[in-house]
Structure 1
């Protein structure tokens, strides 16, 4: 019985296929009917596409690739270990480093790092603008709809500038409390300057995207330099603190040794021909004090040499695989693609409205009018 329920007569299937073909043919006929409207829509789409394509400013992206080789040899084969072995000490042990190379993207996108780029000197390719990055951001162009969106805030800003003395509006950059304009520039640069890392190979890629190719190259190069210096400063900070402490301790122990040596020499010269046992005992005590001071002084000197060698050992080495170069072509979407996309989108929206939307709109309108009546 179930087979009989699912069974359809061949004539019925042919009728449904014919009906489906008739539906597609009907759609094709409707499209042919509204072809003049679609032609007009295509013309409007071309105009809109040209306007939008010309309104979007060009963007240039500079990519820099780094291959960092961090210091701190775990096997004790660094300069500190070599100095320690020459001076009679043990091999230096590896230290756990809180700053990992995988944190480079987070460092680049941090607010303090972005704020350090504000005063970077930049120059456009045509040489017309030579200023700081924070000032150059005000010179960048935007699409016309962006000005319409920001028109209220620009009007309020203009009114405030008229009512307020210009000397009072100048403020020093405060990372703890940024103004609205500073915050918006920081957020913009966080999107335009991006660092990515391949966890498998350790390769770090830095992308800087701005409207001028030379400015983008300068900023990408500055980001690399600041990132290197940031990591180097962090890596050698502890070693520098240890070295500074050992230098102070070295000078203190040196003065103690010199005093003990001078005291022993003075006592020895003053009592050279005296054969009393008490004199010999005091002389032996002073000599022991001098020898002990020398041993401590010698050990601190060895540790100081190891600490100085460790500063150089802790410095990471960055191999710049792909340096910053001025790009020749923009990196954003081509104007031809924008023109074609807007034209096709306009045609599709017009066709859907003519074929489907207008019919349902009239139906909904008639239903509403009947309910009102």
Structure 2
């Protein structure tokens, strides 16, 4: 009982003192290992400078488009206008199977990227004026990519010593690409992206490459090809209908001319005769001529509607933000890369000196025992 009376519970002041002592002990331990930390900071600084300088600059160009999202099926278009003037019926407006909402899939497709290979580009310093597919070979690889690709490059070099190079120029085959062509397609697929706002239909195209002028030229080419790609698809069906009606119009026109000639020749040959059989044959030929004219007239109306439909189906693209040559690189700056490497080097050294060595020594002792 006396021991219980003499016992006193720890006060908050005592707990705080112990907590402060722990922090002070940690601070003294850090000060004690300041020399390894200085060495780690120096090594991290050197590594940071090497990695930052070996990481190529990237430039990004963004283009904003506001495309027309397809027909709504309402009257008032050129085709409806032409149909009303000509007395015919308008051709139906079907929903588009391909519109601007698929821009991201279009720019990532292999056929679309292969069409960009022949795009003429020029670097900002003017030293390189070539095609995009040739420029991709001139781009610098990142330090990590170079390290990972080193074994493959060594194997390829050894293989090249035992194989003869062909002087023939390979023809681009979209159905079966070579390994090098496939790698360039994948590189472009990562460099070109399209984001669509589903509510407003605004499309943002982004291109990221290592030269600012090349990036702007490629972005402008992507916009033009994407517009033409969608336009060609949208008017393809209307063009097919128009071509069919053109052929049908010529056939019905020739049939009407033939019926007209037959009627005229028969009337000229029997104009002095008043026989009933002559009148019956003349009436039959006249009916054939009138029927051929009606069919010919209807096809002519449909042809005019189809011609107007081609123009009506062309989508309208408003370039809200055009492509311009960027002045500053995008992505993580070299200063941030360098400071980040120095920070993580110091942090790793600190963790090793304070806790890593202890656990490592304990592990070695357990293995020895």
By the TM > 0.5 criterion, same fold? yes
- Report what 1:204 is aligned to: 203
Cα separation, 2, equivalents of 1:122 and 1:345: 40
Shift of 1:179: 1.5
Task: State the secondary structure of the residue aligned to 1:125.
Answer: coil
- Report what 1:157 is aligned to: 156
- Report what 2:213 is aligned to: 214
- Report what 2:95 is aligned to: 96
- Number of matched residues? 362
Cα separation, 1, equivalents of 2:72 and 2:315: 11
Say whether 1:28 aligns with 2:45. Answer: no
- Specify whether residues 276 and 66 from structure 1 end up closer, same or farther in structure 2 by C-alpha distance, changes over 3 A only: same
Shift of 1:160: 3.9
Task: State the secondary structure of the residue aligned to 1:95.
Answer: coil
- Report what 1:320 is aligned to: 319
TM (norm. structure 1) is 0.93
- Provide Cα deviations, 1:215-246, integer angstroms capped at 9, x if missing partner: 11111111111111110011001000000000
- Report what 1:62 is aligned to: 61
Q: After alignment, is 23-32 or 252-261 more displaced? A: 23-32
- Specify whether residues 10 and 78 from structure 1 end up closer, same or farther in structure 2 by C-alpha distance, changes over 3 A only: farther
- Specify whether residues 182 and 226 from structure 1 end up closer, same or farther in structure 2 by C-alpha distance, changes over 3 A only: same
Residue 70 of structure 2 contacts residue 99 of structure 2 at CA under 8 Å; is this kept in 1? no
- Report what 1:175 is aligned to: 174
Cα separation, 1, equivalents of 2:24 and 2:153: 55
- Point out 4+ residue stretches in structure 1 off by more than 6 angstroms: none
Cα separation, 1, equivalents of 2:9 and 2:188: 67
Residue 71 of structure 1 contacts residue 315 of structure 1 at CA under 8 Å; is this kept in 2? no
Residue 49 of structure 1 contacts residue 343 of structure 1 at CA under 8 Å; is this kept in 2? yes
Shift of 1:274: 0.6
Q: After alignment, is 268-277 or 155-164 more displaced? A: 155-164
Q: After alignment, is 66-75 or 251-260 more displaced? A: 66-75
Shift of 1:161: 3.8
Cα separation, 2, equivalents of 1:115 and 1:365: 58
Task: State the secondary structure of the residue aligned to 1:97.
Answer: coil
Shift of 1:364: 0.8
Residue 76 of structure 1 contacts residue 92 of structure 1 at CA under 8 Å; is this kept in 2? no
Residue 76 of structure 1 contacts residue 93 of structure 1 at CA under 8 Å; is this kept in 2? no
- Specify whether residues 356 and 298 from structure 1 end up closer, same or farther in structure 2 by C-alpha distance, changes over 3 A only: same
Task: State the secondary structure of the residue aligned to 1:166.
Answer: coil
Cα separation, 1, equivalents of 2:160 and 2:359: 52
- Report what 2:357 is aligned to: 358
Task: State the secondary structure of the residue aligned to 1:11.
Answer: coil
- Report what 1:262 is aligned to: 261
Q: After alignment, is 27-36 or 238-247 more displaced? A: 27-36
Task: State the secondary structure of the residue aligned to 1:66.
Answer: strand
Cα separation, 2, equivalents of 1:156 and 1:17: 64
Residue 71 of structure 1 contacts residue 313 of structure 1 at CA under 8 Å; is this kept in 2? no
- Report what 1:273 is aligned to: 272
Task: State the secondary structure of the residue aligned to 1:238.
Answer: helix
Shift of 1:12: 5.8
- Report what 2:121 is aligned to: 122
Shift of 1:202: 0.5
Gaps in structure 2 of 5+ consecutive residues: 1-7
Task: State the secondary structure of the residue aligned to 2:127.
Answer: coil
- Correspondence list, 1:104-143, <5 A: 104-143=103-142
- Provide Cα deviations, 1:24-63, integer angstroms capped at 9, x if missing partner: 2211111111122212211211111111110100011111
Residue 232 of structure 1 contacts residue 316 of structure 1 at CA under 8 Å; is this kept in 2? yes
Cα separation, 1, equivalents of 2:162 and 2:134: 23
Gaps in structure 1 of 5+ consecutive residues: 1-8
Shift of 1:134: 1.2
Q: After alignment, is 273-282 or 128-137 more displaced? A: 128-137
Residue 122 of structure 2 contacts residue 128 of structure 2 at CA under 8 Å; is this kept in 1? yes
Say whether 1:189 aligns with 2:179. Answer: no
Shift of 1:167: 2.6
